[in-house]
Amino acid sequence: MSENNDYWSANLRLMVKLLTVWFLVSFGCGIILVDVLNAIQIGGYKLGFWFAQQGAIYTFVAIIFIYAKKMAALDKKHGVDE
């Protein structure tokens, strides 16, 4: 029973960390800090606009790959891999 709880606790910790990063990038950089970030331009586009339009999406896709890799390692560690 303890092994199962350890597995799910690790899974939930990972999800909370990754969703926090996504929240900070999408909501923090795309909405709250947009005026500050718009003072910086990359490739002719304001950085706040870039985070709101592209950065959050790229971050989410990266999080999917990170989650899959970390969960594969967690599954293997707890003996529930395929």
- State which residues of the chain have pLDDT below 70: 1
Backbone dihedral angles phi then psi of residue 65, each to the nearest 5 degrees: -70, -40
Which 3 state secondary structure label does DSSP give 53? Answer: helix
Cα(25)–Cα(45) distance, integer angstroms? 17
pLDDT of amino acid 1: 61
